[in-house]
Structure 1
């Protein structure tokens, strides 16, 4: 049976910001607040939000994630694109009720088109960052310096991350600390359910080829 799952967030945990407006909007949209609402009191710039992690793990095939405004999910465009991309692969819809993202409803053709535009912008931003990074490294090499951080993900860590992410009780922050990798690195190779992403599959394919 499919469900409407709600997620709400305020930035401060000191009680100075009320979540009631979001709760009311989600309830009006059909969300069962008692059983299907997940909340956080944390900055949207953080991707280690326990409420959001629990929400993503609770979503099942055919469900729809509903948020009041798009910025409740996060303020980083690439994070949003990756998140919705994962939901889409799992056949989970996203519906935004208000604000600039109110035209996003990935259960409809128009909503998917709007999201595709967001994805295109994120890819453009990513390409610009890569281009600037390459230019910076080239300039450093020309001056006799080398740059770049060491590569921290390994096939062994990747397999451990897959197994751990497949368990509902796994805390992503603790897993990253144990493996000695950043959350960004983890999600680059493994999805929220332990599924391999493109970079993860490439790493394992390269290992098999040796």
Structure 2
């Protein structure tokens, strides 16, 4: 869906055109469309409409806000997302090549801060972390190479689930795939295997998909070979 069409849809809702109604679902549809295109500013402007029209957001609302951040980041940073997802088309090891501009750090900080505000707002409103919002948050952190923070976030959720501190938050297997590959590509092979173990804690008793584990073992073998060559 093009940006212009989404703009028109929002205009129609605001104009209270016959046959339309401003509701949580209708605003979420607009928000979702902006999010899928990585239009962060428009996504957050749409969120403001919930308060303006006294409409109550739901967990999907915040998931779409988080999605807008992750899509925006993967669009603007030249990261081969296929490799992060474990779809290995070639044998190139130097995957992530971030062309950082002078204001990169400021932009990155603003996006990460926005993501943290989303999580805090959800908590204040009593919403649980959904599978989708966890996935988009981890994806965002991985694109920004914040893999340690991502791993700690996942570990905290699993610890909370084990202690039954709150209703269990489900984590998708795809989320573990993204995190393990991001860590593996950064050279922290053992940490990548630890994420594989975390996936089993989350209920995926077979662990990560076979092709992902094969790739991690290849990365480990390559690292050990490079080390022995140097020494």
Q: Structures share a fold, TM > 0.5?
A: no
Higher relative helix content: 2
Relative to the length of structure 1, the TM-score reads 0.29
